[in-house]
Structure 1
């Protein structure tokens, strides 16, 4: 499993893009009008948005409180230090939990039975192998410190006890959240609006208005993305708390 996890870690960015694109393949409905009535589309929209935004909320809070190097080194698992503060006090993999919820939420939003029933279990398997590979690296590097951390903190479940103390004892770095997350946010938001507008014509019945609205949204998001990228590259925005 560790060998498989190292393989998935190396190619995870490509794999996750492919998994994201699978949102748009034809599929039987998760919520059908035959079962849920004329307003069936409200169920995947409300539930899907709630779940996917919960995932980004978890990611945002995690990154803003205590950032952990996610990219590895030379496309291999890597860590400079054992991060145990912030949300990592309450869950060993909060970023991955956030990713899972984000993808599950857009899967529900797409109203795709195939995505929720087949793609999501595949996604969970990939993440489990990646986590096992990461844990093997961390155990070899940090030894007993990592073992003690594992005894205190669950791999996947978030322990909400003591969250208020964590928040009060640390300062949320919103600049770091923006600078580390703006790539993810762009793809995620474009996907959400595409699903809302083109999966549910009930939202905007007129085709021309729908296409125009989506175009305006994409242009706006790209402009915001470009501006943040400019601020980052120019050094006018950094993740410094000063």
Structure 2
């Protein structure tokens, strides 16, 4: 059965989802060899504005993830990779607008990074890749949640779209918004976004111009992001400052 095949593929993609997208890096590098079309044809300021828009879109995707994890209880919406985990069925907050808010946020981030390369073919490839990739992972999670929660899951699925959020129907979660939960769970994603943009900028300079153009803005952004990342990582691993009861 095609559905069973998709679910099996989704199991594999779910387990290795932190690494699967690395397969797109060689394609991105090939794109960078052609330079930045916006700067080449329109100039530095339009290129600066374009890059700023891409960065803003990426952090909008991170904001979707942040609003999601700020409300979720412990044992849900985690970064587990070996198996599906869901102690409860989340149906409020972002989950009242879309059944897969974290994947929706990820898709925004990945597309923003693809757009940042200014390679139209890479953008198309990334979009097609995400359709196939996310379809299979979501199918796997749906099979798991159906088996675990049965009718409750079906009733929720009938009301809420699978991926693209509806614009109304927000249901306030019982738990309060927890910025500590966001900082504890999303600091690595925050620095990964910065690293991706800095790497694209640096490798683009090397591949197109033969050397790195040391832009102080990107250098400061990377150093500042790294300090925040290391600080939050230390707080998570060695203190209880980011711990929240029931989260």
TM (norm. structure 2) is 0.80
Name the structure 2 match of 1:49.
55
Q: 2:162 aligns with which of 155, 158, 161?
A: 155
Task: Tell me, in whole angstroms, the C-alpha distance in 1 between the residues paired with 2:40 and 2:182.
Answer: 41
Q: Distance in 1 between matches of 2:20 and 2:234?
A: 28
Alignment of 1:3-22 (within 5 A): 3-19=8-24, 22=27
Superposition pairs of residues 104-143 of structure 1, within 5 angstroms: 104-143=111-150
Q: 1:32: which partner in 2?
A: 37
CA RMSD between the two structures: 3.2
Matched, 1:82 2:86: no
Q: Is the contact between residue 58 and residue 108 of structure 2 (CA under 8 Å) also seen in structure 1?
A: yes
C-alpha spacing 1:20/1:166, structure 2 compared with 1 (3 Å): farther
Q: Deviations over 1:150-209 (max 9, x none)?
A: 01110012122144x638x753211111110111111111222343566479xxxx9564
Work out the CA distance in 1 between the residues paired with 2:198 and 2:235. Answer: 25
More displaced 10-residue stretch of structure 1: 125-134 or 35-44? 35-44
* TM norm structure 1: 0.82
Q: Distance in 1 between matches of 2:53 and 2:205?
A: 14
Distance 1:21 1:177 in 2: 32
Number of aligned residue pairs: give it. Answer: 234
* C-alpha contact (below 8 Å) 2:69/2:77 kept by paired residues: no
8 A contact 2:38–2:118 mirrored in 1: no
Within the candidate set 180, 185, 188, 2:193 is matched to 188
Pair 47,217 (structure 1): closer, same or farther in 2 beyond 3 Å: closer
| In 2, Cα distance between equivalents of 1:63 and 1:11 | 21
Q: Is the 8 A contact 1:20 1:103 kept in 2?
A: no
**CA drift at 1:51:** 2.2
Q: Is 1:64 the equivalent of 2:70?
A: yes
Structure 1: stretches of 5+ with no match in the other structure = none
